[in-house]
Amino acid sequence: MRRLVCETRLSTEQLVLPLFVRSGRKLRRPIHAMPGVFQLSPDELVREAGRAHALGVPAVLLFGIPDRKDDRASGAYARNGIVQSSVRLLKKEFPQLLVITDVCLCEYMSHGHCGLVRRDKSGARILNDPTLKLLARAAASHAEAGADLVAPSDMMDGRVRAIREELDRLGFTDTPIMSYAAKFASAFYGPFREAAESAPQFGDRRSYQMDAANAGEALREVALDIQEGADIVMVKPALAYLDILHRVKTTFGYPTAAYAVSAEYSMVKAAAAQGWIDERGVTMESLVAMRRAGADILITYAAAEVARWLAEA
Ligand SMILES: [Zn+2]
């Protein structure tokens, strides 16, 4: 009876597994603050994605860690960059696996910011407009490698339009954009910066990411991204921003993704390791809450475990 009247369903079909790839062979470098998450060499990436795919996880979200960083993020749009070559590999092995790529510059920048930086006596500034060209190039290089969906996470103004125009110009008219539309400057990203080696070398990201206190601004950012051509909009982090998720879904009715970020995962793992909480129960309840708030798509580091639990249920 309870199953019959259940209002919110969790399904493996809604899950996206983020993965980190770097060059090498047989490499599984553990991320200290995210037990069970690794930086993977391309061969291990294929194995990990294959395992999740076999459990029914339909999609992965790729982050690349380049060998070299510079102040133009050239690895982000290199034809044979780590993400581009990994996308080719994944699509060859698993044509049915949806491969989403994170589009940003921070992992590829020597200074770790998401855009080009100008430094002068008065300090450092992010150069919004010149950054757009590089982001568009990065997105196009991912599409060219076979990415099914590109996901810009940089939060520069106008980047969705710049990416849409570049994709269309090069003939990738069918490649949709999932924009990190409401991305807050958040302490919940802490463990990720170790995973993606993308911590800013100076300053913080508050000039381009949103203030946790601002819900109205989040809705305006989402509206802009939709106007510019976003096909799916994302709210990030997830659990501490369920009100935003709800408002985004009810206001726009667009396909909406929730990104349960690194610390959301790490906190559950840490408390579970102490025996203080029931890992499975807390994880599933959190994901149901995101669904109930309006998320259609759940991006979570626990995607493979959740798929296993759902298969058992
Ligand atoms: Zn970034």
Dist CA 78 CA 44 (whole Å): 22
Using DSSP's 3-state secondary structure scheme, residue 35 falls into: coil
Angle (deg, nearest 10), helices 279-293 and 242-252: 30
Amino acid at 233: V
pLDDT attached to residue 206: 82
Using 70 as the pLDDT threshold, list the residues of the chain that sit under it. Answer: none
DSSP letter for 201, please. S
Amino acid at 161: R
Dist CA 211 CA 7 (whole Å): 32
CA of 81 to the centre of ligand 1 (A): 17
CA-wise closest residue to 256 among 201, 174, 179: 179
pLDDT attached to residue 122: 84
pLDDT attached to residue 192: 87
Using DSSP's 3-state secondary structure scheme, residue 152 falls into: strand
Using DSSP's 3-state secondary structure scheme, residue 17 falls into: strand
pLDDT attached to residue 205: 85
pLDDT attached to residue 123: 84
> Whole-model pTM?
0.96
CA of 281 to the centre of ligand 1 (A): 32
CA of 154 to the centre of ligand 1 (A): 5
Dist CA 202 CA 109 (whole Å): 12
CA of 258 to the centre of ligand 1 (A): 17
CA of 277 to the centre of ligand 1 (A): 32
**pLDDT, tens digit (0-9, with 9 covering 90-100), for 56-69:** 999 999 999 999 99
> Burial, 305: exposed, middle or buried (Cβ in 10 Å; 0-12, 13-18, 19+)?
middle
Among 91, 121, 133, 183, which one carries the catalytic annotation?
183
CA of 54 to the centre of ligand 1 (A): 30
Dist CA 243 CA 286 (whole Å): 14
To the query of whether residue 236 is one of the catalytic residues in this protein, the response is yes
CA of 114 to the centre of ligand 1 (A): 4
For ligand 1, a single-atom ion, which residues have Cβ within 5 Å? 104, 106, 114
Length of the chain: 313
Among 69, 236, 249, 269, which one carries the catalytic annotation?
236
| Contact partners, residue 311, CB within 8 Å, separation at least 6 | 12, 55, 56
Q: How far, CA to CA in Å, does 237 sit from each of 8, 181, 224, 240, 300?
A: 20, 11, 19, 7, 11
pLDDT attached to residue 231: 98
pLDDT attached to residue 288: 98
What mean pLDDT value characterizes the chain? 95
Dist CA 143 CA 298 (whole Å): 22
pLDDT attached to residue 149: 98
pLDDT attached to residue 25: 97
CA of 299 to the centre of ligand 1 (A): 17
pLDDT attached to residue 121: 86
